[in-house]
Amino acid sequence: MLKVFSVELRGKVSEVLSLYVTGFLTYILPPVIVIGIVYFIGKWKAQRLLKNQGVAKNTGTAANALSLHSRPPYHGAFLALVSFLPAVIVFCAWSIAEGPVIKGMVNSTLPASVGELEAGKQDLISSVIGTVENGLKKLDQKELALLEQAAQYDKEVNKAAAPVEPEAIRKLFEDKNIILAENPEPYVLSAALKSRSFTQFSTYGKYTLFVLMSIAAFMIAYSSIKLRLRARNGVETIVKWFLILASIIAIVTTFGILFSVLFETINFFQIIPPSNFFFGTVWDPRFGWGATGGDGNFGQYGFLPLLWGTLYISFVALFVSVPVGLFAAIYMSEYAGSKLRSIAKPALEILAGIPTIVYGFFALVTLGPFFRDAGAVVGLEINASSVLTAGFVMGIMLIPFISSLSDDIINAVPQSLREGSLGLGSTKSETITKVVLPAALPGLVGAVMLAASRAIGETMIVVLAAGIAAKLHMNPFDALTTITVKIVNQLTGDHEFGSPETLVAFALGLSLFIITLMLNVYALYIVRKYREQYD
């Protein structure tokens, strides 16, 4: 088997094994052992207390014999948690804070002239400092001395020639495979050296504090282990806080999405006014450098053509999927025997489990050319990537979504309604169309809205099948583009981050988020309310 692997892969296998084994031995195993030892110390102390108590009880020396409040393992867990948790929290906080603090301290040592430069230039300098600092690790003693010499040289103070040419330093780094954008200025080198010493200091401080805090907490917790210590309650409170923390992450994610996207969107709207974006009918981004050169013409970012394309394609998708999905659901819940149900339901669920990229590929290589050829036969000019292709394939994708949701909703309609209708002599189909469906209508509308929200947010099918032409036309046989396609296009190219060309993706993302959020909230509200009606 190994024979089929190339030399690179075989080399990687041994590299990976040694990397992960050493990583496990140095970073995972020791903490686990230490925590385990502390746990057993706590457990052992509790057990000893219990034993002594038992002895005291038997000999009758203890006036009021007490038993252990919590079982010994809880004492162990209590000791381990109390010993390390505060220290871990402080350690993490320090690790998060140290980066920005050190950066601020290093920046304050830079010459005043740097502070006057524009923001982009300053970022560049700090990134060069970072590169040099990382490179310092690869230098040996002699090269380091050379670098320190270069760092101390100040053009203003001694007008003599530099002891070490900046080119030489750059060459030094190049030999180590570290490419610097320009010859490093002396202040850059000295800042890198300072940054390194700050980081070292911070690291030592961090670890020392961690060890000291753990020892102190251990001592306090150890001495607090008594018979009546409510160790279980303590452990349970800590566990409960973990659970609360985990459920907060779900909220944090939503706000993370909202704020990260909102923040970049505001940046975008500072360059392109919102009215031009939301009411613009032309999509034509240009490469305008703005402040740093170029003609400053960023082109036009009209949202309407994209919105139109998105809605049009989603409409086609719903046009395909709603009748098929709805009828499939009706047949499965009202007519089909258990045999057909047991085949058809999983089969449709398979359709739901297929990744969208597969649908996209299907549209690209099979359905698109098929529609084009079929159109040519009947004399229609159908583009291989068109609204029809994208919408049709998306419709196939949505069939199981609609059918399973509608199935649930139709099944939730009380049987008494059906029986009443059938008892009056109506046929099954009349019962369904005149009684069941009207009763289920709000729920079905909710299901269709959920499907619409899916269609609007769908990406891979339209990226591969809809085309990139942002136009406003009604022809379903021609290409149109969508919001999601443009988000992908704007972010996968080689655009500079911070230019309107990439920032527009966030404005599009925010619009998409808000549209789908409104649809979802309303649809879920309808579905929920409707379900409760019959319970």
Site for another protein in 369-428 (CB under 8 A): 396, 399-400, 403, 427-428
**Choice from 22, 158, 200, 260 touching another protein (CB under 8 A):** 260
78 binds another protein (CB under 8 A): no
361 binds another protein (CB under 8 A): yes
Element (H, E) at 179: none
User: Both tokens of residue 439?
Assistant: 């009763």
* CA–CA distances in Å: residue 251 to residues 124, 162, 247, 454, 520: 35, 57, 7, 22, 17
The answer to whether 420 touches 434, Cβ cutoff 8 Å, is no
460 binds another protein (CB under 8 A): yes
174 binds another protein (CB under 8 A): no
Distance of CA 430 to the CA centre of its chain: 49
Length of the chain equals 535
Give 267: exposed, middle or buried? Use CB within 10 Å, 0-12, 13-18, 19+. Answer: middle
**Choice from 225, 229, 487, 526 touching another protein (CB under 8 A):** 487
Nearer CB in complex with another protein: 39/218: 39
496 binds another protein (CB under 8 A): no
Per-residue binder mask for another protein (CB under 8 A), 129-168, x = binder: ----------------------------------------
**Choice from 243, 291, 377, 378 touching another protein (CB under 8 A):** 243
517 binds another protein (CB under 8 A): yes
**Choice from 192, 328, 382, 466 touching another protein (CB under 8 A):** 328
CA 214/CA 180 separation, integer angstroms: 42
228 binds another protein (CB under 8 A): no
Nearer CB in complex with another protein: 330/382: 330
319 binds another protein (CB under 8 A): no
In the complex, the smallest distance separating the C-beta of residue 161 from another protein, rounded to whole angstroms, is 39
261 binds another protein (CB under 8 A): yes
Query: With contacts defined by CB under 8 A, how many residues of the chain interact with another protein?
Result: 100
CB contact set of 349 (below 8 Å; sequence gap of 6+) = 400, 404
User: Both tokens of residue 362?
Assistant: 């299907």
β-strand partners of 283: 301
The C-alpha angle 379, 385, 389, rounded to 5 degrees, equals 80
**Choice from 27, 204, 263, 534 touching another protein (CB under 8 A):** 263
7 binds another protein (CB under 8 A): yes
* Phi–psi pair at 333, nearest 5 degrees: -85, -25
Strands of 4-95, DSSP E? none
CA 48/CA 419 separation, integer angstroms: 72
Per-residue binder mask for another protein (CB under 8 A), 419-458, x = binder: --------xxxx-xx----------------x--xx-xxx
In the complex, the smallest distance separating the C-beta of residue 31 from another protein, rounded to whole angstroms, is 16
Please count the other Cβ atoms lying within 10 Å of the Cβ belonging to residue 209.
Answer: 14
In the complex, the smallest distance separating the C-beta of residue 122 from another protein, rounded to whole angstroms, is 17
With CA atoms as reference, report the closest residue to 222 among 89, 339, 110, 79. Answer: 79
CA 39/CA 80 separation, integer angstroms: 5
With CA atoms as reference, report the closest residue to 135 among 188, 201, 95, 96. Answer: 188
CA atoms within 13 A on the CB side of 428: 6
**Choice from 16, 33, 145, 181 touching another protein (CB under 8 A):** 16
332 binds another protein (CB under 8 A): yes
Nearer CB in complex with another protein: 82/515: 515
CA 382/CA 52 separation, integer angstroms: 90
What does the DSSP 8-state code read for residue 496?
P
**Choice from 26, 108, 177, 247 touching another protein (CB under 8 A):** 247
What does the DSSP 8-state code read for residue 495?
P
**Choice from 110, 129, 348, 409 touching another protein (CB under 8 A):** 348
In the complex, the smallest distance separating the C-beta of residue 180 from another protein, rounded to whole angstroms, is 19
268 binds another protein (CB under 8 A): no
509 binds another protein (CB under 8 A): yes
Stretch that binds another protein, among 158-166, 169-177, 221-229, 321-329 (CB under 8 A): 321-329
With CA atoms as reference, report the closest residue to 269 among 515, 512, 510, 513. Answer: 510
In the complex, the smallest distance separating the C-beta of residue 155 from another protein, rounded to whole angstroms, is 33
Nearer CB in complex with another protein: 52/429: 429
Site for another protein in 36-65 (CB under 8 A): none
Nearer CB in complex with another protein: 41/483: 483
Nearer CB in complex with another protein: 8/116: 8
